Structure 1
Amino acid sequence: MAHGPIAVYGATGYTGKLIVAELRRRGVEDIVLSGRRADALREVAEAHGYGSDVVRAAAHDDPAALRAALDGCAVVIAAAGPFLQVGEGIVEAAAATGTHYVDTTGEQPFMRRVLDVHGPIAERNGAALVSGMGFDYLPGDLLCAVACEGIDEVEELTLAYAMKGFGATRGTLRSALVMLGGGDVEYVDGAFRETGLKLPRGTFDFGPGFGVQPVTRYPSGEVVTVPRHVNVRTIRSRITAVTFAPHPKAAGLVPLLTPLTALTLRTPLRGVLHDAIGKLPEGPPLEERRAAKYTLVAVARPTGGGPVARARLDGTDVYGITAVTTVEGALRMAEDGYDRAGGLAPAEAYDARSFLDALAEHGVTYDAPVGSAAIA
């Protein structure tokens, strides 16, 4: 393994603590825990059997402290969000210091900044930056890669998310408020274009477990990352409407109500909601977290006709698997001989099938065509 510890920035948050626990489970002794509050970081270190010497406090808006926190580190896992508000400093420090970087963001506009703004700097300094490494959106990016193996050009790629029992953390809810402010894009006819507030309505057949479900547009990270490694004309990203509905019977109203919600959040009400989120539990309890189930389906339609490729991935525990995927990615980057650099999609940074196979012991299964053997 390459020299230098694995750093966790945002180690005191809900997901950050899960990441620290996963590092301990994997037997990683050489770590750095960073974030704004030294006292809280020491508590996390002690709770997971690390000494106080692993603590390097650094505020998100203190460039010098952030660079000092990464001094000598091989990789940093960033878990402090909302990333559009507090994530810029740590990725900037990673790119400048040549430290490999992965993060847990679900914010598509931030992912674009990592790739387009910080990626070129990181490449010059020999660091790889991979954004969206958690449940959203590493599994989906890798699934799209294997679904499209052997297809010269994909006319349309649809990636659909379905979830049951998902309970959001405070951090996820705050990121959602930021995302509703706009700035997300679609990939249509070989180019990015900004989306409007109006959401499309439709249905998608997920197959066993979920069946046919009402879906709506999802500003997922795969829209940004997949065109980097798949020759695709158009990407459709969808999610079950019930995911955002207060009751399953209200799922059909979500595409109608979301534009109104987004407009409302461009008023002072955003601050009121932000404060209200702070009074909620930090995140779902262990039993609830592990009970959550999800399915991802990628459907690739080749240009000029031919068999349609369909790949599926199933798993449980959204936040638990995020800890696994970020740590797995960081450890792969820290291996001797890892030589990829710049802003990268997950499938550019890692071998897609090898990474997905490594998730099997954590309950993630996938079914995808091999090579050109697409399935209808």
Structure 2
Amino acid sequence: MALLRFNRSKATLLRDGGATVIAMSARVVVFGATGYTGARTAEALVSRGVRPVLAGRDPGRLAALAQRLGGLETAVAQVTDRASVAALVGRGDVLVTTVGPFTELGAPAVAAAADAGAVYLDSTGEPPFIRSVHERWGPVAERSGAALLTAFGNDYVPGVLAGALALRAAGEGADRVDIGYFMTGLGKGQPFSRGTLRSLAGIATQPLYAWRDGALRTEPAGARMRTFDVAGRPRPGVTIGASEQFALPRIAPGLRTVDVYLGWFGRASAAVHAGARIAPLLSRVPPRATATVADVLTRRVPSDPAAHALAGARSHFIAEVFDVTGTLLARTRLTAPEPYAITADLLAWGARRAAEHGVHGSGALDAVAAFGLDDLTAGAAEAGIVEEN
């Protein structure tokens, strides 16, 4: 097992007006706290006794949020300015960012964290950015002692956890893992934030990746489609790039295939799958033009999802492990609340855990590598992610 990096003295508990506050030597900085996901993450941190620094470009909105959350420290900074971000974090500090689209705005923050030797967590679900963190910034972080935990939310910690649990149950002989992401119980109204839809639109034409024949391969989104049994019904999903293609082969080096299926499109999954045939042509469109189109498509979408659309929603994560003959060796089913609650609670748990105890290893890490499977299972349960009965 890798050495524990960023190990700090244990946090102390202070009493402040009857509330318990954790005093840590590691600083926790939240970028994007005035946005929907960022505000929920800051709230989740405060509920765990952590007093993060709220960072962003609008001092008025930062001050209002800081006051609402109990008088937190604020810092005016630009997430797209590497030096501006670097001024906020030092070695062993924890930087949490929810500012997207990450493929357009995320590089300066992850670069600053990697240079500083900090612990970095983000809320991205964008496969091209995840790949760049692992392949571009991971080696930088290994040299500096930083730990980069990209996609540390609903995208894609639950699937990594489900896959790791299924691999442990399967034992030897695992050849393929299929992961499925689904939601049920959505009410009427918009269930996604503008930022989520903007990110999906922005990556629709970009080349993604898969773990095939024991190596990372480039391929378009939706290249494959299959159904999973979700809450007693067959539901389709289409393949996407995610964290699992990096994480699960580390856990089981003999894996030949890791496929991650997104089941949010319902009946439209077939159209997404068919669209994969023309994706190579669309990928020739310059990224700036794609971003402009994405802006136009989402401009009139409300910034926050509709609360009533998410009120009764449940998330489902399924991992199935097969041997080389296609025989099912193990299946793990996890269920959880709606995606934004998952992301806020996971980011808050991961940031607090890293600030108090550090993480295992350095470089671009996944959640299992950083915290260990048993501790991650317990942390996920705090976020409501549990095995289905």
TM-score normalised by structure 1 residue count? 0.86
TM-superposition CA deviations, 1:24-55 (whole Å, max 9, x none): 111212x211123222222221222224xx21
Which residue identity lines up with residue 364 of structure 2 in the other structure?
G
SS in 2 for 1:236: strand
- Following the alignment from structure 1 to structure 2, what is the Cα–Cα distance between the partners of residues 197 and 67? 34
Which residue identity lines up with residue 131 of structure 1 in the other structure?
T
Aligned to 1:21: 43
Q: Show the 5 A alignment for 1:198-209.
A: 199-206=223-230, 209=231
Cα shift at 1:107: 1.0
Matched, 1:290 2:311: yes
Q: Is the contact between residue 204 and residue 212 of structure 1 (CA under 8 Å) also seen in structure 2?
A: yes
Aligned to 2:95: 76
1:71–1:282 Cα change, 3 Å: same
Aligned to 1:373: none
SS in 2 for 1:359: helix
SS in 2 for 1:282: coil
TM-superposition CA deviations, 1:263-286 (whole Å, max 9, x none): 679485752441342322112233
- Following the alignment from structure 1 to structure 2, what is the Cα–Cα distance between the partners of residues 147 and 46? 44
Aligned to 2:258: 235
- Following the alignment from structure 1 to structure 2, what is the Cα–Cα distance between the partners of residues 315 and 198? 25
Which residue identity lines up with residue 219 of structure 1 in the other structure?
G
5+ long unaligned stretches in structure 1: 369-376
Q: Is the contact between residue 80 and residue 108 of structure 2 (CA under 8 Å) also seen in structure 1?
A: yes
Cα shift at 1:123: 2.4
Which residue identity lines up with residue 132 of structure 1 in the other structure?
A
SS in 1 for 2:191: coil
- Following the alignment from structure 2 to structure 1, what is the Cα–Cα distance between the partners of residues 323 and 212? 15
Cα shift at 1:187: 0.7
Aligned to 1:154: 174
Q: Is the contact between residue 289 and residue 319 of structure 1 (CA under 8 Å) also seen in structure 2?
A: no
- Following the alignment from structure 1 to structure 2, what is the Cα–Cα distance between the partners of residues 289 and 257? 28
- Following the alignment from structure 2 to structure 1, what is the Cα–Cα distance between the partners of residues 290 and 349? 39
Cα shift at 1:93: 0.7
Cα shift at 1:367: 5.3
Choose from 334, 341, 346 the match for 2:355: 334
- Following the alignment from structure 1 to structure 2, what is the Cα–Cα distance between the partners of residues 115 and 228? 13
Matched, 1:44 2:57: no
Choose from 191, 207, 210 the match for 1:183: 207
Cα shift at 1:214: 2.5
Aligned to 1:114: 133
Point out the more displaced range, 356-365 or 179-188.
356-365
Aligned to 2:115: 96
Q: Is the contact between residue 335 and residue 388 of structure 2 (CA under 8 Å) also seen in structure 1?
A: no
Choose from 192, 196, 209 the match for 1:168: 192
Matched, 1:195 2:219: yes
SS in 2 for 1:291: coil
Aligned to 2:343: 322
Aligned to 2:155: 136
Point out the more displaced range, 64-73 or 155-164.
64-73
- Following the alignment from structure 2 to structure 1, what is the Cα–Cα distance between the partners of residues 147 and 91? 16
Which residue identity lines up with residue 233 of structure 1 in the other structure?
R
Cα shift at 1:90: 0.7
1:311–1:331 Cα change, 3 Å: same
Which residue identity lines up with residue 123 of structure 1 in the other structure?
E
Matched, 1:253 2:271: yes
1:200–1:25 Cα change, 3 Å: same
- Following the alignment from structure 2 to structure 1, what is the Cα–Cα distance between the partners of residues 380 and 274? 37
TM-score normalised by structure 2 residue count? 0.84
Aligned to 1:281: 302
1:288–1:73 Cα change, 3 Å: farther
- Following the alignment from structure 1 to structure 2, what is the Cα–Cα distance between the partners of residues 227 and 345? 11
Identity %: 31
1:306–1:183 Cα change, 3 Å: closer
Aligned to 1:124: 143
Q: Is the contact between residue 222 and residue 275 of structure 2 (CA under 8 Å) also seen in structure 1?
A: no
How many residue pairs align between the two structures? 358
- Following the alignment from structure 1 to structure 2, what is the Cα–Cα distance between the partners of residues 261 and 187? 19
1:73–1:61 Cα change, 3 Å: same
Which residue identity lines up with residue 152 of structure 1 in the other structure?
E
Cα shift at 1:220: 2.6
Cα shift at 1:345: 1.2
Choose from 55, 59, 68 the match for 1:34: 55
- Following the alignment from structure 2 to structure 1, what is the Cα–Cα distance between the partners of residues 324 and 275? 35
